[in-house]
Structure 1
């Protein structure tokens, strides 16, 4: 007998949940790598390990955006403006307010208890950050999602009527204005800080919106096996270029440089596209049991909540000494990421039992 629940599981597209789960794990690793990346000596083995692991994770935010675009830009899904604002955008605002307040409150308590900070100063500084933003450093992503959601009604007009040639024009514009010119500007500034060419830095205009559209386009259009393999190979090569290039640029600048780790660099864009296509192809071939499928769906469903809550564990692990500086990062970074992932999942499972938090804050 096939129940309604089982039918829903079978009909659910599985690969977006796999992508969300992978992306939230990668974001956690990025944040854990950051301490070693910015604090180890750039000539040390530990720094190179942190750099390599950081290079492996920078596709995560673009993929998150691509998965959102896959659903929000589909013309076959009705998304009235009232529903968009009253449900989707309001939910992100509520999550931003709630988690920003929780993080800032815990930060004030930490400063008062561990650092003996002046109470009035700590509270005023927390309020300034909360109001002016970002409410907490990793919550910047929520501001971006709100901006993209506001743009959805206009972008949907494009995806509803655009032909392949229009998508090609958009992606070429993204590669040129969003990837190539900003990277050239960064490298030029690294060589000579006086060569600041403003027109080279227009990545925000086509950037995130293009990832949004790209997710929808790749979900609806098949890519030949030959082209996919070429993209996979290019993504692997781009990782090594990113790793070696980051080392060379950091040595040139005298400090750790994130130029090649940014979301609009060609290497990160290629990696995000390759991972999206690989998981899309891989997900279509999965023949898993309902139990396994349910678990993957649950991870995908809770990925946003796990993203929101995970930074609490970064603070806790730092306080108890479980940090990458104390243990070789080749061991500590993957271990801490796995532990943070598991703990975040368990916490979200508990929070999901509180109706108002489940509905508005996760």
Structure 2
């Protein structure tokens, strides 16, 4: 019988990346209803949350880059049975379970549960997510079949050839942003680029380019904020031009954050590290469960979100409360062997 590969020791900067990505995801979803509210609010009320939203879109790319960094850098002999059981199933089974859970929740319409609505959501689930945040898995799970094929290739390639591939991918992200028609604009290709970028940054030292990435990342964040504000100001409604996960602006910000966190994470005081490690450990669970906590405030029928929307401080409190409660809920689920697999 083949033995399971030994576990990789934890890297603190990877935990930091998961930590900030988990926070950013919660921020994005807390601010989601602003798409409908922007037209109703004066500029000084919509500008702070819209700016925060524009600066948080790197969360999903960071999660994919971390997966590429860790899974594609594994030099141990590949064990297909172990990989399918401990890597793919660890993501696939929770996704299927939460698809059903959110379909049942989606059956509630105006306070009344309808099996017909839930059944329709489940029937459409092979092609359409049952809850807004589950879209991620439709793009993420196929990457688990890309990784075993891509990893042995890039680990044997010359670094200059890898850089050429990354440059081509960055051009493709620009084409995606500009909506240039090409058969290469496929999600599996776009997200595979993040896998490769995560692997490259994980295995190559970027300390000589820290100033470049700091300046470039900051410039692109400012570009996102100013561009989003300009489009909303001109159109009088929400604009997602600068919000794409597969566009050049988001890719540059994600790369910059990866490089900077890798370089400076060890400077974080020891007293702050337990919190970072705890949130990182439960980041996958936080991603899965936090929309449950946002149901009451995202429901336009009860008017709660409109009250939050008039105060940036209230939105900040809502974000922190959602993160804390999602962490607590995830922790509770891990206490039982019956539910632990739902939030691996």
Instruction: Using structure 1 for the length normalisation, give the TM-score.
Output: 0.84
1:89 alignment partner in structure 2: 88
Give the equivalent residue in structure 1 for 2:136: 141
Q: Distance in 1 between matches of 2:42 and 2:184?
A: 30
Change (3 A) 1:287 1:155: same
What are the within-5 Å matches in structure 2 for residues 21-40 of structure 1? Answer: 21-40=19-38
After alignment, is 74-83 or 347-356 more displaced?
74-83
Structure 1 segment 258-297 matched on structure 2, within 5 A: 258-286=240-268, 288=270, 293-297=273-277
Deviations 1:49-80 (A, max 9, x none): 22101012111110011111111001424442
Range that drifts further, 54-63 or 232-241 = 232-241
C-alpha contact (below 8 Å) 2:100/2:122 kept by paired residues: no
Counterparts of 1:203 and 1:224, CA distance in 2: 32
> How many angstroms apart in 2 are the aligned matches of 1:322 and 1:265?
33
- Are 1:313 and 2:296 an aligned pair? no
State the distance in 2 between where 1:15 and 1:115 align: 44
Looking at structure 2, the residues matched to 342 and 323 of structure 1 have their Cα atoms a distance apart, in angstroms, of: 19
Whether the 8 Å contact between 2:68 and 2:199 is mirrored in structure 1 is yes
Relative to structure 1, the CA distance from residue 77 to residue 39 in structure 2 (aligned partners, 3 Å threshold; closer, same or farther) is farther
CA RMSD of aligned residues (A): 2.5
Match of 2:189 in 1: 206
Q: Which residue does 1:301 correspond to in 2?
A: 281
Pick aligned residue for 2:175 from 177, 181, 189: 181
Give 3-state SS (helix, strand or coil) of 1:67's partner: helix
Preserved contact between residue 68 and residue 212 of structure 1 (Cα < 8 Å):
yes
Pair 136,295 (structure 1): closer, same or farther in 2 beyond 3 Å: same
Say yes or no: does 1:152 pair with 2:150.
Answer: no
Q: Please, which moves more after superposition, 92-101 or 121-130? A: 121-130
How far the C-alpha of 1:123 sits from its partner, in A, is 3.2
Shift in Å, 1:311 = 0.1
Matching residue of 1:224: 207
Please state which structure has a larger fraction of its residues in helix. Answer: 1
* Aligned-partner SS, 1:198: coil
Partner of 2:4 in structure 1?
none
Which residue of structure 2 aligns with residue 194 of structure 1?
none
CA distance in 1, matches of 2:231, 2:186: 21
List alignment gaps of at least 5 residues for structure 2. Answer: 1-6
Moved more, 296-305 or 63-72: 296-305
Residue 140 of structure 1: how far off its partner (Å): 1.5
In structure 2, the partner of 1:242 is 224
In 2, Cα distance between equivalents of 1:268 and 1:55: 9
Aligned to 1:49: 48
Structure 1 residue 165 and structure 2 residue 165: aligned?
Answer: no
Provide the rounded CA distance (Å) in 1 between the counterparts of 2:38 and 2:234. Answer: 16
Number of equivalences: 335
